[in-house]
């Protein structure tokens, strides 16, 4: 049964009547993205592997907008993703915006990393993004749908200890461009956001685990500060909104200038052998 648009609690009607699905949307940057869409009138569905996180995020979003739902789902499982999207379509109708935010990361040198560890990150980030987009294709509003992947600086710059993440994120960047070419004629836009270091995220807890590392990292950012999850969400809202209707195939850096130099100012910690 479709949820009536007038049942929404709106603080800003920019995305009123739109249906948004955020994969990985139960924590961190992705949850902030989901909140931002809900505050702007959208019907929002979120998913992740952890049922407890799903329930907590859905409850929080329903406090903003009654038209919110959560589904436990592993993006590595195509059938599970397809089932989740079918449930969203059944409840809300055609899907307008899909955010691919599920990701994994850790620091490890390639000679000590297991094949399974490398595969896990590629499966979550890259294969998960393809699974999500491929399954969503059948349920998208055409023309007009917007797909946005959460990439990272590792997609365009090499880092020691990040071979798995660099490979996965570079794949996401190219998948973004390829699908923009293939699906553009149907009126589907496909873009990506590449956040820089963002305060309070699990990724920063891993990559800048000490005060000294955080200081070095901040010094490598031209704006001399970490980003905020709300700032990344605002960039996503721009790409999904009416001001970016002629933007597709783009990877938007939202990183305080972090990737503007050659990367010599900072690298992730080397791994002792």
> Does residue 258 form part of some domain?
no
Pairing status of strand 251-254 against strand 43-48: unpaired
The pLDDT, as a whole number, for residue 209 is 65
> Does residue 261 form part of some domain?
no
Domain total in the chain: 1
> Does residue 262 form part of some domain?
no
Domain range for residue 69? 5-253
Q: How far apart are CA 95 and CA 84, in angstroms?
A: 12
The tens place of each residue's pLDDT in the chain, 273 residues long, gives 344 333 434 457 899 999 999 999 999 999 999 999 999 999 999 999 999 999 999 999 999 989 999 999 999 999 999 999 999 999 999 999 999 999 999 989 999 999 999 999 999 999 999 999 999 999 999 999 999 999 999 999 999 999 999 999 999 999 999 999 999 999 999 999 999 999 877 766 666 667 787 788 888 899 999 999 999 999 999 999 999 999 999 999 999 999 987 665 555 544 443
pTM check: above 0.85: yes
- φ/ψ (deg, to 5) at 153: -55, -25
What's the number of CA atoms in the CB half-sphere (13 Å) around residue 192?
A: 30
The pLDDT, as a whole number, for residue 11 is 58
> Does residue 271 form part of some domain?
no
User: 122: which residues sit within 8 A by CB, 6+ positions away?
Assistant: 164, 167, 168, 171
> Does residue 18 form part of some domain?
yes
> Does residue 112 form part of some domain?
yes
> Does residue 260 form part of some domain?
no
> Does residue 266 form part of some domain?
no
What is the domain-level CATH number for residue 107?
3.40.50.720
Both tokens of 179, joined, read 């699908």
Residue 142: count other Cβ atoms within 10 Å of its Cβ. 12
């Amino acid at each position: 049964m479709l949820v009536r648009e007038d049942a929404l609690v709106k603080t800003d009607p920019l995305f009123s009547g739109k249906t948004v699905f955020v994969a990985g949307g139960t924590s961190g940057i992705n949850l902030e993205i989901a909140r931002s869409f809900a505050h702007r009138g959208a019907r929002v569905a979120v998913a992740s592997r952890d049922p407890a996180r799903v329930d907590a995020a859905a409850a929080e979003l329903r406090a903003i907008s009654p038209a919110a739902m959560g589904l436990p789902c592993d993006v590595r499982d195509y059938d599970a993703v397809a089932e989740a999207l079918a449930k969203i379509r059944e409840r809300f109708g055609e899907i307008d915006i899909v955010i691919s935010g599920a990701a994994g990361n850790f620091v490890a040198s390639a000679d000590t990393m297991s094949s399974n560890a490398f595969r896990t990150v590629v499966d979550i980030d890259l294969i998960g993004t393809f699974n999500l987009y491929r399954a969503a294709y059948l349920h998208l509003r055409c023309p007009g749908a917007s797909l946005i992947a959460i990439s990272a600086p590792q997609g365009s710059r090499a880092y020691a200890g990040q071979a798995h993440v660099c490979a996965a994120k570079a794949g996401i960047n190219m998948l973004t461009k390829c699908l923009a070419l293939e699906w553009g004629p149907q009126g589907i836009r496909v873009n990506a956001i590449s956040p820089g270091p963002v305060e309070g995220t699990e990724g920063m807890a891993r990559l800048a685990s000490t005060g000294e590392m955080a200081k070095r990292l901040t010094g490598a950012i031209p704006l001399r500060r970490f980003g905020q999850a709300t700032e990344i969400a605002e960039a996503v809202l721009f790409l999904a909104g009416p001001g970016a209707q002629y933007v597709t195939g783009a990877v938007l850096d939202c990183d305080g200038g972090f990737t503007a130099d050659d990367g010599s100012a900072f690298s992730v910690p080397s791994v002792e052998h």
